[in-house]
Each structure stands twice: as C-alpha cells, then as structure tokens.
Amino acid sequence: MKNQVITRYLLSTIVSMMVLCANAWAGQFFFDDFSDGDMTDGLPVNWIYGVDSSVGTEGYGAADLNSAYYIYRDVSISVQIKRISDHTNNQWVTGLTCRWNETGPTGGYWIEVRPPNRFLFGHRDRYILRSATLPFNVDEMELIIRVDAVGDQLKAWCWPADEPMPQEPQISLVDNVTPEGPVGFYYSSRGGEAIYRWVKVDSLEVPIVDFNGNGKVDIKDLLKVIQYWNQDEPSVDINGDGTVDDKDLEILMEHWDQNVDDPTLLAHWALDETEGLIAYDSAGIKDAVLSGDPVWQPTLGQLDGALELDGVDDCMITSSVLNPAEGPFSVLAWVKGGAAGQVVLSEQTANWLCTDPSNGELTTELLCTGRNTSPLISETVITDGEWHRVGIVWDGSNRTLCVDDIVVAQDTQVELKGSSGGFNIGTGMAMESGTFWEGLIDEVRIYNRAVSP
C-alpha cells in the first residue's frame, strides 16, 4: 500500500514536471545573499575592519558560505562586491576563495582585487598564478567577479556591475592542480569596508541522467528513480546529495525524451552510414575501418541504420578505447542473428562479448587476475533471430552480463586483467574462422562507468 501511494505521488509529480519543468540543473545549484540564510531579504554582508574581524583570522574578515558544502565538479562561481576604503595601499585586498581546502598542498585557488586596478588569481598558499590590469578603479565601485573552472582550464572576469560582462576573460590559464573544498570570501581593508551582496555557484558539469546507457532519457530511467526513491543509490542520485528524491526527479525530467551528451561515453558507433569503409565514432576519435565486405542497411537497424555482416570475414577494426584494469566500464550493443561461438566485440587478448560455442548463450571471456578465473556464461540465448541489447558491465568488483537491460549473469572478482589492444567489432580476438558475426550489429557504445541496466 505504501509503495502504491509513493508511486501515485511520483506519477502526479512527474506529470506536473513534464508540463512545467524548470531549468533545474542548467546552472544554479547554490545561491546566497550573505545575510541570515533568508535568500528573499536581499541584505548584504557589510564588514568593517576592527569591528567584526572575529569572523576570520587576524586582520581579515573571512567566512565559508557553507563549511559543509564542498564542490567537486566543474563550476562557475560569481560574486558581487563593493570595496570601500580611505586609502590606496594596494596590499589591502578583497576577494573570494574558490574550492578551498586547508589540508591540501595547493588544494584551492583564490581571486581578488586590489586598488587601484589590480586583478589577481592564485593558489591557496598565496602564490600568484596570473594577474591583470583592469581599466577601472576597484574602489568605491560595485563589481562582479567570476571564475570558471572546467578541468584544468581556469578563466576569470571582473567588471562593473552596471556594465555587461566582457566577452573575453582578463585572466585565462591552464592549471593541473585539482581544487576541492567550500567557497569562502574575505577582506583586509584597514580603515575601510567590504560589502558582499551575493554569490552564486553554477554547475558546468553534464549530469548523468541516462542510467542504462541507451543515449536517451526515457521511461526506463524514470523507473530507476521510482525503484530507488528515498534510498542512497549512487547510480541514480543525480545531484549527489545521498538520497534519490525530488531534486533528482526534477533534473531527470528536464532532460525527458532528449538525447543526452554523456561525458562518460568514450565511443559510440551508431552505424547509420549508408556507404563507405568507415564507421564513425560520434563520441570521440575511434573511427572504425570496415574489413571484408559488410553491407550498410540504412533502414534495418534497431535505431535507424545498422551494419550487416556475413559471418565469413566481415568486421570492423579500431584502436584501443580503454584498459579494463583501470576502472569501471560498460560495453553495449544491439545485435540480431549470430550463431554459437560468434563474437560481437573483442580485443587482442579476449573476447569481450560473444556467444557460448555450445548453444549461443551470451558470454564474456574478459578474465580476471588470479588462477581461478574463467569465462562468465549466462543462460540466455541471443541467437534466436530477434533484436537483443547485449552488454558487459564492470563496476570494479563485479562482472555483469545484460540482455535487454536485464542482468542475466554476474560474479564477483578481484580485478580484471589489463589490455591496451585494438578493438574488433563482429569478430574474435584472433579473427579466426567461426568467430565472425553473421547478422546485424547496431548502436555500439563504450562507457567509462558502470551503467545501471
């Protein structure tokens, strides 16, 4: 009864979201006006030196926006400030710390303005990465500071609040230090004041909303959210707060019925070409070369086109995509036809997705380290002439075989053997007779995460 009530609630909520879905992820996931936690009152924080320096260290006013709010993702951080002083000593500064971590060697970065027109960017131990000269005086002026951190690319802007944001950042650099920690703000203005009006933190990271790795947000992803509602399930907890709840549902519905840009997708051969000897990788640079004489079938695929292989010498060949020893991954493909002992995908040391030579059950020969290792064989035959979505998933502890998004075999292992060889699609690791696939292959996808079937 309780589950029925929850399901009815979710379905009613979902219908509302599909009609009125807001921009839940694209962008903002934290905003503060520096007042008393009430974001509707719009009151700024006004620090006066010598009056409220107790909030920070000697000579500084300083505070975390939220000492428990750590940022591990690509972000854009913006703040509006006004620096008021009765001097022009450029040693007294006002600024913002971004992803600060006091325990790390250089675990965060800072950005600040100094009178009369200096704009500085550096690491937490105070050394300057880059500086710029601004075309305006930073005193007695409402300013907006913004920093974008995407991977190792750092960009920073500073401009008057009543003017449009400059198209080009004043500071741009590459930095290989990975910062983490809370956002904070500070000032050191002897004889003056520092007014902080607001700060906002926007996510620049693409959320993982396609749980089963089929390239689209659909009913199967929605059912996953319902299945794990109010539980701590990392594979479905989109916003990473430890509970699958309405926040995750909002993000999911924002992407409903859309093709998604998944940052964990390493390679994707849609096989929708109509001619030529190249199967293009839409996710990367691992274009595959056709070998033998396979035939493009633009209308016979599970999704648009597919490639038809003759079971004699037809296959596709590409370079290495991933090393199975380095972490979780998933390999998925749609197949139709085939026979016992034939291979969907392999590399030079193992057949990753294949059929058992006896009866055509889905099998992986991707082995683990140690002496007592063997292929994982399911009881599900995939050579019945129907379309099947087959996959091998490694989550770091378990080998899992999936057919049509259902787990059909699984075992626990210590680790997988490493490999850096090229990939074969439609034939075995040695391209020997009897391993070439006879039938259709479509939508081959490789992820560097464990998908949730």
Query: Is the domain of 230 the same as that of 125?
Result: no
For residues 286 and 320, give the distance between their C-alpha atoms in angstroms, rounded to a whole number: 8
Top mean pLDDT of 20-29, 415-424, 439-448 is at 439-448
Of the residues 191, 224, 254, the one at which a domain ends: 254
Of the residues 203, 223, 246, the one at which a domain ends: 203
Closest CA to 261 of 322, 215, 329, 212: 215
- Residue 159: Cβ-neighbour burial (10 angstroms; 0-12, 13-18, 19+): middle
- At 263, the pLDDT band (50, 70, 90 cuts) reads confident
Of the ranges 67-71, 173-177, 397-401, 442-446, which one carries the lowest mean pLDDT score?
A: 67-71
Query: Is the domain of 65 the same as that of 184?
Result: yes
pLDDT average, residue stretch 65-75: 47
| 260: in domain | no
For residues 300 and 306, give the distance between their C-alpha atoms in angstroms, rounded to a whole number: 6
Query: Is the domain of 216 the same as that of 275?
Result: no
Range of the domain at 199: 28-203
For the cut 90, the answer to whether the pLDDT of residue 342 exceeds it is yes
- pLDDT at residue 35, as a whole number: 47
| 433: in domain | yes
Strand pairing of 142-150 and 128-133? unpaired
For residues 172 and 132, give the distance between their C-alpha atoms in angstroms, rounded to a whole number: 10
pLDDT average, residue stretch 226-253: 86
Geometric angle at alpha carbon 195, from 192 and 201, rounded to 5°: 140
| 452: in domain | no
Return the structure tokens found at 313: 């010498």
| 259: in domain | no
Of the ranges 149-163, 298-312, 388-402, which one carries the lowest mean pLDDT score?
A: 149-163
Closest CA to 162 of 222, 219, 82: 82
Mean pLDDT of the chain: 79
Q: What CATH number corresponds to the domain at position 162?
A: 2.60.120.560
Query: Is the domain of 290 the same as that of 432?
Result: yes
- At 108, the pLDDT band (50, 70, 90 cuts) reads low
Of the ranges 35-39, 194-198, 422-426, 431-435, which one carries the lowest mean pLDDT score?
A: 35-39
Query: Is the domain of 382 the same as that of 245?
Result: no
- pLDDT at residue 202, as a whole number: 73
Report the share of the chain in percent with pLDDT over 70: 73
Query: Is the domain of 34 the same as that of 124?
Result: yes
* pLDDT tens digits for range 380-416: 999 999 999 999 999 989 999 999 999 999 999 888 9
Query: Is the domain of 245 the same as that of 272?
Result: no
Report the share of the chain in percent with pLDDT over 90: 45
Query: Is the domain of 281 the same as that of 178?
Result: no
* pLDDT tens digits for range 176-200: 765 555 566 655 545 556 677 777 7
Of the residues 189, 221, 254, the one at which a domain ends: 254
What are the start-end ranges of the H helices in 40-143? none
* pLDDT tens digits for range 52-63: 333 333 333 334
Query: Is the domain of 32 the same as that of 169?
Result: yes
Q: How many domains does the chain have?
A: 3
Geometric angle at alpha carbon 412, from 236 and 447, rounded to 5°: 45
Of the ranges 29-38, 181-190, 367-376, which one carries the lowest mean pLDDT score?
A: 29-38
* pLDDT tens digits for range 115-139: 888 898 887 666 788 999 999 988 7
The single-letter DSSP state of residue 260 is -
| 375: in domain | yes
Query: Is the domain of 246 the same as that of 153?
Result: no
| 440: in domain | yes
- At 76, the pLDDT band (50, 70, 90 cuts) reads confident
- pLDDT at residue 106, as a whole number: 41
| 335: in domain | yes
Q: Is this prediction's pTM over 0.95?
A: no
For residues 317 and 155, give the distance between their C-alpha atoms in angstroms, rounded to a whole number: 40
| 453: in domain | no
For residues 165 and 171, give the distance between their C-alpha atoms in angstroms, rounded to a whole number: 14
Query: Is the domain of 247 the same as that of 375?
Result: no
Do 148 and 204 touch, CB atoms closer than 8 A? yes
Query: Is the domain of 41 the same as that of 14?
Result: no
For residues 127 and 26, give the distance between their C-alpha atoms in angstroms, rounded to a whole number: 33
Q: What CATH number corresponds to the domain at position 358?
A: 2.60.120.200
For the cut 70, the answer to whether the pLDDT of residue 34 exceeds it is no
- At 449, the pLDDT band (50, 70, 90 cuts) reads very high
